[in-house]
Structure 1
Amino acid sequence: MNYQNNTIVHLDLDTFFVSVERLMNSALIGKPVIIGGLSDRGVVASCSYEARRYGVHSAMPIRMALNLCGDATVIRGDMDQYSKYSRLVTDVIADSAPVYEKASIDEHYIDISGMDRFIGSYKWTHELRNRIISETGLPISFGLSVNKTVSKIATGEAKPNGEKEVPRDLVRPFLNPLPIKKIPGVGEKTCHLLHSMGVFTIHTLSDIPPEMIQHVLGKSGIDIWKKANGIDFSPVIRYSEEKSISTERTFDTDTIDIQMLERLLIHMVEKIAFKMRKKQKLASVITVKIRYANYDTHTLQKKIAYTSFDHTLMDTALELFRRLYERRMLIRLIGVKLGGLIGGVQQLDLFDNNDKMIKLYLSMDQIRLRYGSEAIHRASGVEKKEKVASRSVQSQMT
């Protein structure tokens, strides 16, 4: 399939966290608002456009943000509420869209190729946007063009709360005058490097030979060069709550040792949560499975706020296991699955005042990345050597 002949929509909720807070407290409308940790070491997770006018931006220390905008209202984030509203938006899209991808908590892509045969693509997307605003109360912008890259850049130009279509024959004229930082995947370091070469606009970048860009930027250079030229063949990947990462353990000898089972469950969650963080994913559903000695299999699942934090996932997994294990029969198998995966890094660390917890996660993950996933884990998940032998089914993504 030639994706360059496709019609792709990119939808992005405007200042999503701030918008949710304003739904719950209308007094915040029109005022500078900062979402983030409330301590001196807190970091900005999101901020309103009113705050941005003072130079406030994401990942900035709260103390610095307040020096720039002393009148801002600082709110500690509520991931439960943000997850709830994210799901509401996804439900509206799922009810209308033929193929959609949930790229993050506040972003979606939709493939509406061929829609023009029935209804204008822009008209259909405009009506969908109005429906999202009507049913959720949240402002949202969209870009409509030939591929994911151009559509995402178009959304950025449409914000706040706007719409922009870039027809196929206008892709290059649209991209050319824009600064290189508008290209998805071009971060601060890449920007600085290209600026040092005199490359400031997408037009200049697109005219440089791709071999030279690759020499300067490495493997990612060709991908950035293609995006500068409006080339992106990546498909919209159909979203499903079933996308998951899981692991399970079958015991050689059936067991009723609850303490051992709970320690094992903690270790399993810790292991697959690390795999999820490596892939920069967040989970919104957790499922626990047990199989009794007579092969009866039972599962229980729970929707949760988007997270990749072990301690949150472990508490829920243990809760589900204790609710699930009612028959007090010998157990043959235990398993855990993290589902409803979306792209994104853990946001709660930006709301959390527990600086020690954040540093602990970073340190543990660095050790695992260097020495392997089994190099370090929680004492509560350690199995005693004399306990029941078992066979492990490796963690897998589905």
Structure 2
Amino acid sequence: MRRSIVHMDLDTFFVSCERLNNSQLEGIPLIIGGGDRGVVSSCSYEARRFGVRSAMPTAMALKLCPQAKVIKGDMERYSQLSHLVTEVIQEKAPIVEKASIDEFYLDITGMDRFHGCYQWTNDLAQRVLKETGLPISFALSINKTVSKIGTGEGKPKGHLDIPEDQVRNFLNPLSIQKIPMVGDVTFQLLSRIGIRTIKTLSEMPAEVLQRMIGKNGVEIWKKANGIDNNPVEPYTERKAISSEHTFTQDTIDIVHLKSILSGMVEKLAFQLRSEEWLTSTIVVKIRYSNFDTETRQCKIAYTSADHLLTKKVLGLFDLLYQRRMRLRLVGIRFSGLVRGTYQIDLFEDTEEMLSLYAAMDKMKSRYGYDSVMRCAGASLKPNSKDIILKRKS
């Protein structure tokens, strides 16, 4: 059966959220992000016309567009609106995958027997706009890759239908940069040998591409040819990762306990970033020497940043640990996961902070997690058998 896959993406989500609160922001160049030494988390289309882009240093963005208004941003508010949009979509769609805080995949295969798939999706987009006030673009096609590229081409407020017999005509003239997985390095490598359009890339032998760029070569070749059999994975808030540490001797040493917790957060946060997850719920668990177990949790704005998560975890621990008995175990659980990269929520961070995260993660990925650690988590012994990482679904 021919698949019907929809990709939906909220238009300049952070900007749209701010304009919901303040209509005077409509039509003006808008930058969401940090101060002069911070980075751009999002920007309006009016600002993009001047060359402003996400992840650009704010100072550079203001040189390109000095008339832009800079707003710090409110991730808690954005997270709430993201949950609201998710509820609207899940209420109507049979299978929904929440790919990030502001984008979704829907599998509506077979629905054309009862409704026109395009009209049904268009009605859903209008429902999202009516119930949340947020504009959303979509593309309907045969798989996730083509739909995602289509949404990008149609934004803002684009509603595209790309039937199977039009996929090649749609993809062929586009830049290879439009293909998911083709980053700057791959683009530069292929450009040097004259491969700049998807059509040219699709005509290369897959094995040649694999020899050039490694294991992802075949996958990129498939995408260039409109081939993508990846399923839409139903979204659930129950996905989680967790870590527990059982002490060899029960302890009441607060400094040691907090150091262990900090190290656990750092390890879990690195796992989140490595797999491109953001968390919205934190649970801290303690087990006393008499085996009494207590937990405390809180909802947070989506993040995967160590320093934000550590602050929340230690705050929960302070609220939780009141009996001053010895502890035999501490645990942390991050749940409510959605796809996303950690840059989007670092509104207060400088370019240097983002660079530090990138450098540390690169070293950990290359030389192992224990190759570089923060001093606060140094009590967590490298390669400790007490550390248990789990994925729940």
What is the TM-score normalised by the length of structure 1?
0.89
Deviation per residue, 1:260-280 (Å, 9 max, x gap):
323222221122112222222
Distance in 1, Cα, partners of 2:195 & 2:23: 43
Distance in 1, Cα, partners of 2:225 & 2:366: 37
Q: Which residue of 2 aligns with 1:148?
A: 144
Q: Which residue of 2 aligns with 1:115?
A: 111
Distance in 2, Cα, partners of 1:193 & 1:366: 21
The alpha-carbon distance between structure 1 residues 81 and 214, as it changes in their structure 2 partners (threshold 3 A), is: same
1:213 lines up with 2:188 in the alignment: no
The alpha-carbon distance between structure 1 residues 349 and 362, as it changes in their structure 2 partners (threshold 3 A), is: farther
Distance in 2, Cα, partners of 1:360 & 1:294: 42
The one-letter code matched in structure 1 to 2:63 is: N
Q: Which residue of 2 aligns with 1:65?
A: 61
* Matched position secondary structure for 2:389: strand
The alpha-carbon distance between structure 1 residues 254 and 395, as it changes in their structure 2 partners (threshold 3 A), is: same
Distance in 2, Cα, partners of 1:364 & 1:210: 34
Alignment of 1:1-398 (within 5 A): 5-39=2-36, 41-347=37-343, 351-383=347-379, 392-398=386-392
Distance in 1, Cα, partners of 2:346 & 2:120: 36
* Matched position secondary structure for 1:153: helix
The one-letter code matched in structure 2 to 1:34 is: I
* Matched position secondary structure for 1:11: strand
Q: How far did residue 209 of structure 1 move? A: 1.9
What is the percent sequence identity of the aligned residues? 57
Distance in 2, Cα, partners of 1:68 & 1:53: 10
The alpha-carbon distance between structure 1 residues 374 and 14, as it changes in their structure 2 partners (threshold 3 A), is: same
* Matched position secondary structure for 2:296: strand
Deviation per residue, 1:123-162 (Å, 9 max, x gap):
2212211111111111110111110001111112221112
Deviation per residue, 1:207-260 (Å, 9 max, x gap):
222222223322222111111111001111122212111111233444444443
The 8 Å contact of residues 38 and 350 in structure 2, kept in 1 or not, is answered as no
Distance in 2, Cα, partners of 1:196 & 1:142: 33
The alpha-carbon distance between structure 1 residues 374 and 198, as it changes in their structure 2 partners (threshold 3 A), is: closer
The 8 Å contact of residues 44 and 350 in structure 1, kept in 2 or not, is answered as no
Q: How far did residue 359 of structure 1 move? A: 4.3
The alpha-carbon distance between structure 1 residues 283 and 200, as it changes in their structure 2 partners (threshold 3 A), is: same
The alpha-carbon distance between structure 1 residues 366 and 208, as it changes in their structure 2 partners (threshold 3 A), is: closer
The alpha-carbon distance between structure 1 residues 377 and 181, as it changes in their structure 2 partners (threshold 3 A), is: closer
The alpha-carbon distance between structure 1 residues 329 and 211, as it changes in their structure 2 partners (threshold 3 A), is: same
Distance in 2, Cα, partners of 1:200 & 1:362: 28
The one-letter code matched in structure 2 to 1:306 is: Y
* Matched position secondary structure for 1:351: coil
The alpha-carbon distance between structure 1 residues 256 and 6, as it changes in their structure 2 partners (threshold 3 A), is: same
* Matched position secondary structure for 2:386: strand
The alpha-carbon distance between structure 1 residues 141 and 377, as it changes in their structure 2 partners (threshold 3 A), is: same
Judge which range, 13-22 or 276-285, deviates more: 276-285
Distance in 2, Cα, partners of 1:353 & 1:333: 33
Judge which range, 229-238 or 284-293, deviates more: 284-293
The one-letter code matched in structure 2 to 1:191 is: F
Q: How far did residue 204 of structure 1 move? A: 2.2
Judge which range, 131-140 or 357-366, deviates more: 357-366
Distance in 1, Cα, partners of 2:59 & 2:322: 50
Distance in 1, Cα, partners of 2:157 & 2:118: 16
The alpha-carbon distance between structure 1 residues 6 and 295, as it changes in their structure 2 partners (threshold 3 A), is: farther
The alpha-carbon distance between structure 1 residues 117 and 327, as it changes in their structure 2 partners (threshold 3 A), is: farther
The alpha-carbon distance between structure 1 residues 344 and 164, as it changes in their structure 2 partners (threshold 3 A), is: same
Distance in 2, Cα, partners of 1:243 & 1:306: 14
The one-letter code matched in structure 2 to 1:154 is: G
The alpha-carbon distance between structure 1 residues 118 and 88, as it changes in their structure 2 partners (threshold 3 A), is: same
The one-letter code matched in structure 2 to 1:395 is: L
Q: How far did residue 334 of structure 1 move? A: 1.7
Distance in 2, Cα, partners of 1:141 & 1:336: 37
Deviation per residue, 1:18-77 (Å, 9 max, x gap):
1111112211101111223321x4332221111222222223333333333222112223
Q: How far did residue 294 of structure 1 move? A: 4.3
Judge which range, 237-246 or 190-199, deviates more: 190-199
CA RMSD of aligned residues (A): 2.4
The 8 Å contact of residues 252 and 391 in structure 1, kept in 2 or not, is answered as no
Q: Which runs of 5+ in 2 are unaligned?
A: none
State the number of aligned residues: 390
Judge which range, 343-352 or 121-130, deviates more: 343-352
Distance in 2, Cα, partners of 1:253 & 1:194: 57
